[in-house]
Copies of this chain bind each other. A is one copy, B any other.
């Protein structure tokens, strides 16, 4: 379904920026290179351990700009609200989006609210669009070479399991909290440490496996992973065993996949360990276990 719609859109709206098929369009305005992106959030339920639809919408768009080598600056916020939605729910979501904006160091500068009839939408949908200023221009799938390192910035699948637990009312030994977090500061540190980063992606829908497959789908080589080197926390592992999921296909909302020249891999991992993110403790303890795998 998504592939069908994407190809329909690319055919109808044919233009250079869209055809790049990146998480953000890269545009020139005046003397600056600008990244521009949009995302709608329809997560159900709207509250889950470690986040909610408000913070998720802010971090998601901050991250889509960040993985394109841009410094996120400004966000818009569009709300579609089901008539009769409890005011305290709305207030919680807006407060959460505000805190997420502060934590990310960006401003929400414009917005729009639509109210639809009861049954017309699933409580609350959020759209965020964002503008950032590009500071690293070397990102391109065409730069990837066999032998490059593939890194992931922290444990995977926590977001998906957190949302699923909240939806189905499931409990595991330990509560799995969403990894939803802003990646802009982490990525800034990484890109100031290495000029040999070639591709970054946040593995949201479809998880790490789908994201990596998309990256190499048009390339004459594949990516092989060392499964035991990919960080998965106990809670996620337990949920996956119970439910028959593969953590590689579970969505993350605060992790970044980095493909870089192998010689810079250790430097990038060291640099990312100094950042305060949801994955911070992990980085410190388990740097050596992070995925670092060449291509055949």
Contact = CB atoms under 8 A, between A and B. Distances in A.
B32 A109 contact: no
Interface stretch (A35-43, A137-145, A247-255, A256-264): A35-43
A161 interface: no
A34 B190 CA distance: 29
Interface string A117-145: 10111100101010101000000000000
A37 B76 contact: yes
A5 B79 contact: yes
Contacts of A31: 30-32
Interface stretch (A88-96, A177-185, A219-227, A278-286): A88-96
B42 A129 contact: no
A229 interface: no
B111 A1 contact: no
Given A40-B112, A125-B125, A74 B17 contact: yes
Given A5-B90, A9-B94, A90-B5, A36 B121 contact: no
A8 to B, nearest CB: 5
B27 A74 contact: yes
A18 interface: yes
A29 interface: yes
Contacts of A77: 9, 13, 38
A90 to B, nearest CB: 7
Contact of A110 (B38, B44, B115, B133): B38
Interface in A41-98: 41-42, 44, 73-74, 76-81, 87, 90-91, 94-95, 97-98
Interface string A7-31: 0110011010110000011010111
A109 B27 contact: yes
A122 B117 CA distance: 9
A5 B112 contact: no
Contact of A78 (B39, B73, B115, B117): B39
A5 B5 CA distance: 33
Given A15-B109, A18-B109, A40-B112, 16 more contacts: A2-B115, A5-B81, A13-B97, A13-B98, A13-B111, A17-B110, A18-B107, A29-B30, A29-B133, A36-B76, A36-B131, A42-B121, A78-B129, A119-B119, A120-B122, A121-B125
15 contacts: A8-B91, A9-B108, A13-B97, A13-B107, A17-B107, A18-B107, A18-B111, A27-B109, A31-B32, A36-B74, A40-B79, A40-B114, A42-B121, A80-B80, A116-B122
Interface of A: 1-2, 4-6, 8-9, 12-13, 15, 17-18, 24-25, 27, 29-32, 34, 36-42, 44, 73-74, 76-81, 87, 90-91, 94-95, 97-98, 101, 107-117, 119-122, 125, 127, 129, 131, 133
